[in-house]
Homo-oligomer: A and B are copies of this chain.
Amino acid sequence: MPNNQFKKGELYSFITGKASTAIARRLQKKFNTAGLNITIEQWSVLYHLWKQEGISQQELCNATFRDKPSITRLVDNLEKLNLVKRVASEHDRRINLIYLTKQAQKLQEETMALADETLNEALETVPTDKVDICKEVLQIVYDNLK
């Protein structure tokens, strides 16, 4: 039984992702405390736009592992907050290219620092090599199922 290493009692955490839920909640609280009026999900979209802006909504779907309606609404809300702009592509009028506003550019440094802080709190006392193995396993899980 090669991959049957889960006892029943351990199923639950893996499926429900309690660890990532805890990380996301902690980071959200840091955003709120800092007076940053954005959600973790909105931040995750900005995160990819900071790496590269001017990408389509479809590309944001792939990057964030969300479906098209989810991205439509996240972009809606980010637009309401004046953090991104939809710009119609010139060669393909089906496509919206998403650009950051100046206001969103200002958020990068502060929110990334809070994210770093959160991960350091999460991984306190965990040796580096175990973290690396954990990341590796989660990446394989994602690749196996996506």
Given A14-B20, A21-B17, A121 contacting B134 (CB threshold 8 A): no
Of the 9-residue stretches A3-11, A52-60, A78-86, A90-98, which lies at the interface with chain B?
A3-11
Contact code string A1-33 (vs B, CB < 8 Å = 1, else 0): 001111010111111111111111111000000
- The answer to whether B8 and A138 touch across the interface, beta carbons within 8 angstroms, is no
Given A24-B17, A115-B15, A133-B134, A5 contacting B142 (CB threshold 8 A): no
A6 to B132, CA, bound (A): 9
Q: How far apart are A111's CB and chain B's nearest CB, in angstroms?
A: 10
Residue A137 at the chain B interface, CB threshold 8 Å: yes
Q: For chain A, give the interface size range.
A: 35 or more
Q: How far apart are A63's CB and chain B's nearest CB, in angstroms?
A: 9
Shortest Cβ distance from A20 into B: residue = B17
Residue A119 at the chain B interface, CB threshold 8 Å: yes
Shortest Cβ distance from A63 into B: residue = B12
